[in-house]
């Protein structure tokens, strides 16, 4: 199977004033379509840095980043935003739900970037919430959800637009052990069924 | 295109929902702009009201004669001989008794206590000739009676009565070592003479131990007789005078002061507007920084920079609009129709009404929107350039 993510000699340097920290020193990496890959390493080892490059949130200092055969290291900020809308779903450690919006409104956000009609959006949102098992929490605000539920809503939001890849940065980092296992299990079954 | 408007609406609506959570800092922009607009609209209302009052003063068939080069009545002096020559000139209408309908006047300044502030301010005391009321039929005695010549009696305009202490009918005023009695109250239908005191010219002259008049006012045979009258005076080698239609004179006087008031309005309004812009910048910068995680999340999902920029602008404009409306409303509620006095033509008080017109209110609100626009600009740029990865990390 073809590599969905392919990194060639990727260098990432953070420069602040005169100081420059090189975090990734010529990294090569291939991830096959349908893979479920976990990056492990101590805090500060560069996991977030790498995921940001793969997800198009940040640009490499050198090397090539290709996703689904497309070079994204040369895209402009505006092009990257459009690219992310089509290809990437993000799940963050602290869920990053918009506190003013209900669960279903949060899940609908990525669909506002598509040309789907309101009715289609509603249908897709319901499907995504059903997949994560939260159909009965559609009208709840993030503050009315437990951590695990909030992360399920975030996962629904990440996959509602059927992205090419799902980027999860410490998706269980804020959850207790049992809930964390539950979320990981959900992600794994999603990978089996949808990936 | 449809998706862009979806993005803009979603981001903007979501942002506006979060405004109440940062109400304290939002109040900075609202209050700053409200105060600026209230002050600007009030001063402009003052200028407009002042112009209206002075523009009402004067008639086209009356002419005012001042010494050549005098900007105002107070700066002018005319000798008794000159005054007689002027009153007898061609073009002046004659009364039933065959005498010119004209008034040689002496203008003095009296300092009186104001009712509302308790501080002293200047009032014009106008000594008028025996034909002054034939000359100015608009003057109506509404209480008491006309002053008599040769005794220290005066009549009081109704605006002066409202503004100053001790001008009630039967009251006594002491100035220039003499005591004067208020024997009558008059109205003129809203011109600047209503802010004056009037008495017999000869009595005022002798009280002030003076022998010079300030001006001569004549009633013309018709408005068209003005040129003949003016020619007669300017070609007379014994005279060096400026001749103006009364309407023209007051229009000029009001123009200068209106100009000054407009100038003050724009200078004061401008300085306050700059302050309000900084307040708006402060509010919007802090709004953007408190939203940085939300903005970064939306950008990560794939939202463009434009919807974020629009959301910042809409918030700034909405808050500015609230401030502008509150400011205009405050100016209207507190000042519209208020009688205000200010330095008039003779550095004395002219009482006039502030008129907060819809046009003024609109220009205040337009100013508010401009402040909101400028105050939203740089924060919006910052929001658009927000580094997504760093903002997500900061959470
Ligand atoms: N914006 C930045 N400027 C400077 N250094 C940074 C910046 N972001 C991350 N780093 C550094 O890069 C290294 C890797 O960070 P990160 O990718 O967040 O690691 P991890 O996610 O594995 O904990 C750390 O040493 C961190 O201090
Ligand atoms: Mg990390």
How does pLDDT run across A106-154, given as a tens digit for each residue?
Answer: 999 999 999 999 999 999 999 999 999 999 999 999 999 999 999 999 9
Atom of ligand 1 nearest to the CA of A43: 23
> Is A81 within a domain?
no
Cα(A185) to centroid of ligand 2, in Å?
21
A190 C-alpha to ligand 1 centroid (Å): 29
- A14 and A99 belong to one structural domain: no
The environment of the single-atom ion ligand 2, i.e. residues with CB closer than 5 A, is A 48
Beta pairing class for A3-16 and A62-67: antiparallel
Q: Which residue has the higher pLDDT, A152 or B22?
A: A152
Q: Give domain status of residue A61, yes or no.
A: yes
For residue B14, the chain A residue with the least C-alpha distance is A100
Neighbouring residues of A38: CB distance < 8 A, sequence distance ≥ 6: none
Q: How far is CA B273 from CA B34, B203, B268, B372, in A?
A: 10, 52, 8, 10
For B185-226, how does the pLDDT look when each residue is reduced to its tens digit (9 = 90+)? 999 877 778 889 999 999 999 999 999 999 999 999 999 999
* pLDDT of B200: 96
A77 touches chain B (CB under 8 A): yes
Is residue B2 pLDDT above 80, yes or no?
A: no
**What's the structural domain count of chain A?**
2
Binary contact (A112, B395; C-beta < 8 A): no
The band of B60, judged by pLDDT with boundaries at 50, 70 and 90, is confident
Residues within 8 A of B (CB atoms), A 155-174 only:
157
Q: Which of B59-63, B223-227, B338-342 has the lowest mean pLDDT?
A: B338-342
Mean pLDDT of all residues in B140-145: 95
Chain B residues within 8 angstroms (CB to CB) of chain A: 2-3, 6-7, 10, 14, 17-18, 293-294, 297-305, 388-389, 392-393, 395
Task: Judge if the beta carbon of residue A52 lies within 6 A of ligand 1.
Answer: no
- Calculate the average pLDDT of chain B: 89
Greater confidence (A3 vs B366) lies with B366
Q: Say yes or no: A145 and A193 in one domain.
A: yes
Strands A19-32 and A62-67: unpaired
Query: Within this chain, do residues A9 and A68 fall inside the same structural domain, yes or no?
Result: yes
Tens digit of each residue's pLDDT (9 = 90 or more) over B352-369: 667 788 898 999 999 999
What whole-number distance in Å separates Cα of residue B56 and Cα of residue B254? 10
Query: In angstroms, rounded to a whole number, what is the distance separating the alpha carbons of residues B363 and B262?
Result: 13
Confidence at residue B250, expressed as pLDDT on a 0 to 100 scale: 77
pLDDT of residue B349: 52
> Is residue A83 in some structural domain?
no
Percentage of residues of chain B with pLDDT beyond 70? 94
Q: Domain check: are A63 and A117 in the same one? A: no
Average pLDDT (B240-255) is 84
Q: Per-residue pLDDT averaged across A56-79, rounded? A: 94
Is the CB–ligand 1 distance for residue A45 below 6 Å? Answer: yes
Of A74, A100, A124, which residue constitutes the final position of a domain? A74
> What is the arithmetic mean of pLDDT over B278-288?
92
Q: Can you give the pLDDT at residue A131?
A: 93
Closest Cα to atom 5 of ligand 1:
A14
Cβ contact, residue pair B6, A112, below 8 Å: yes
Does some domain include residue A155?
yes
Nearest CA to ligand 1 atom 6: A14
pLDDT at B58: 77
Q: Which residue has the higher pLDDT, B178 or A73?
A: A73
Closest partner CB to B300 (pick from A57, A82, A98)? A57
Least confident of A123-137, B78-92, B279-293, B331-345: B331-345
Ligand 1 pocket residue status of A17, Cβ below 6 Å: no
Do A37 and A128 have their domain in common?
no
Chain B residue with CA closest to A114: the answer is B3
**A53 and A106 together in one domain:** no
Domain boundary among A74, A104, A133: A74
pLDDT at site B340: 57
Q: Would you say residue B80 has pLDDT above 60?
A: yes
Which ligand does the CA of A45 lie closest to?
1
| B302·A99 Cβ contact <8 A | no
Domain contains A158: yes
Q: Which of A48, A50, A53, A94 to mutate to test the pocket of ligand 1 (most atoms within 8 A of CB)?
A: A48
Question: Once rounded to an integer, what is the mean pLDDT over residues B2-6?
Answer: 80
CATH number at residue A14: 3.40.50.300
Residues A102 and A33 in one domain: no
Q: Ligand 2 centre and the CA of A152: distance in Å?
A: 20
A21 CB near ligand 1 (under 6 Å): yes
Q: Is A48 in the pocket of ligand 1 (CB under 6 A)?
A: yes
| B1 — pLDDT class (breaks 50, 70, 90) | low
A42 shares its domain with A69:
yes
Structural domain contains residue A79: no
Q: Do B301 and A78 touch (CB under 8 A)?
A: no
> B174 Cβ partners below 8 Å, 6+ apart?
B180
- Indicate whether A150 and A123 sit together in one domain: yes
Higher pLDDT, B4 or A24: A24
pLDDT of residue B49: 77
Residue B350 — pLDDT band, cuts 50, 70, 90? low
Q: Is this complex scored with an ipTM above 0.90?
A: yes
Bridge-based pairing state of the strands A3-16 and A19-32: antiparallel
| Residue B8: both structure tokens together | 């803009």
Tell me which ligand sits closest to the C-alpha of residue A50: 1
pLDDT in tens, B288-313: 999 999 999 999 999 999 999 999 99
Q: Which of A100, A121, A157, A160 to mutate to test the interface with B (most CBs of B within 10 A)?
A: A100
With the CA atoms of B321, B326, B327 and B330 taken in that order, what torsion angle do they form, in degrees rounded to the nearest 10? 160
- Of A34, A52, A74, the last residue of a domain is A74
Would the CB of A19 count as within 6 Å of ligand 1?
A: no
A114 and A24 fall within a common domain: no
Same domain, A102 and A37: no
**Domain extent for A182:** 88-195
Neighbouring C-beta atoms of residue B324, cutoff 10 Å: 30
For residue A45, is it within any domain?
Answer: yes
Ligand 2 center from residue A104 Cα (angstroms): 28
Q: Are residues A55 and A138 in the same domain?
A: no
Q: Distances from the Cα of B367 to the Cαs of A194, B36, B336, B355, in angstroms?
A: 56, 9, 19, 19
Residue B347 has pLDDT above 50, yes or no: no
What digits encode the pLDDT tens for the residues B217-229? Answer: 999 999 999 999 9
CB pair distance less than 8 Å for A81 and B302: yes
- Average pLDDT value for residue range A150-162: 95
Q: How confident is the model at residue B107 (pLDDT cuts 50, 70, 90)?
A: very high
Say how many Å lie between the CA of residue A41 and the centre of ligand 1: 13
Split at pLDDT 50, 70, 90, the class of A191 is: confident
- Which pLDDT score, from 0 to 100, does residue B345 have? 47
* B338, pLDDT greater than 70: no
What pTM was estimated for this model as a whole?
0.72
**CA B133: distance to chain centroid?**
29
Residue A8 lies inside a defined structural domain of this protein:
yes
CA of A46 to the centre of ligand 1 (A): 6
């Amino acid at each position: 199977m073809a590599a969905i993510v392919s990194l060639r000699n990727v260098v990432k340097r953070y420069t602040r004033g005169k100081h420059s920290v090189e975090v990734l020193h010529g990294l090569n990496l291939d991830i096959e379509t349908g893979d479920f890959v976990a990056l492990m390493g101590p805090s500060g080892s560069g996991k977030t840095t790498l995921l940001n490059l793969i997800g198009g949130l940040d640009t490499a200092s050198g090397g090539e980043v290709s996703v689904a055969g497309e070079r994204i290291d040369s895209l402009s900020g505006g092009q990257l935003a459009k690219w992310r809308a089509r290809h990437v779903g993000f799940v963050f450690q602290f869920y990053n739900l918009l506190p003013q919006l209900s669960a279903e409104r949060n899940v609908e956000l990525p669909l506002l970037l598509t040309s789907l009609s309101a009715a289609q959006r509603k249908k897709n949102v319901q499907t995504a919430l059903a997949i994560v098992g939260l159909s009965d929490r559609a009208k709840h605000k993030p503050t009315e959800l437990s951590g695990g539920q909030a992360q399920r809503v975030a996962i629904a939001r990440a996959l509602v637009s059927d992205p090419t890849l799902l980027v999860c940065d410490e998706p269980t980092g804020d959850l207790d052990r049992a809930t964390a296992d539950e979320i990981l299990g959900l992600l794994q079954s999603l990978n089996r069924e949808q990936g | 295109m449809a998706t862009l408007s979806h993005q803009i609406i979603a981001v903007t609506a979501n942002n506006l929902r979060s405004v109440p959570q940062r109400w304290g800092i939002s109040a900075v922009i609202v209050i700053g702009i409200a105060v600026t607009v209230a002050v600007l609209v009030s001063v402009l209302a003052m200028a407009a009201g002042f112009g209206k009052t002075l523009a009402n003063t004067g008639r086209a068939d009356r002419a005012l004669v001042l010494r050549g080069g005098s900007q105002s009545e107070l700066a002018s002096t005319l000798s008794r001989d000159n005054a007689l020559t002027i009153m007898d000139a061609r073009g002046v209408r004659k009364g039933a008794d065959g005498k010119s309908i004209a008034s040689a006047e002496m203008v003095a300044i009296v300092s009186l206590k104001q009712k509302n502030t308790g501080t002293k301010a200047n009032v014009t005391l106008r000594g008028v000739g025996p034909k002054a009321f034939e000359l100015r039929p608009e003057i109506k005695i509404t209480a008491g009676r006309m002053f008599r010549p040769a005794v220290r009696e005066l009549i009081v305009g109704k605006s002066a009565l409202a503004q100053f202490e001790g001008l009630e009918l039967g009251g006594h005023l002491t100035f220039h070592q003499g005591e004067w009695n208020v024997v009558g109250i008059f109205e003129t239908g809203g011109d600047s003479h209503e802010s004056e005191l009037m008495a017999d010219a000869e009595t005022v002259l002798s009280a002030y131990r003076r022998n010079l008049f300030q001006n001569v006012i004549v009633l013309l045979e018709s408005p068209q007789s003005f040129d003949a009258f003016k020619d007669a005076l300017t070609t007379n080698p014994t005279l060096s005078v400026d001749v103006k239609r009364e309407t023209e004179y007051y229009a000029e006087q009001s123009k200068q002061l209106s100009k000054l008031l407009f100038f003050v309005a724009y200078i004061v309004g401008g300085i306050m507007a700059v302050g309000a812009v900084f307040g708006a910048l402060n509010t919007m910068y802090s709004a953007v920084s408190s939203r940085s995680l939300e903005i970064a999340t939306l950008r990560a999902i794939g939202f463009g920079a434009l919807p974020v920029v629009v959301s910042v602008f809409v918030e700034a404009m909405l808050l500015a609009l609230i401030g502008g409306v509150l400011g205009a409303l405050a100016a209207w509620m507190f000042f519209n129709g208020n009688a205000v006095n200010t330095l008039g033509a003779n550095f004395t008080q002219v009482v006039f009404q502030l008129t907060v017109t819809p046009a003024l209110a609109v220009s205040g609100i337009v100013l508010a929107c401009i402040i909101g626009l400028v105050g939203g600009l740089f924060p919006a740029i910052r929001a658009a350039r927000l580094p997504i990865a760093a903002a997500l990390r900061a959470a």
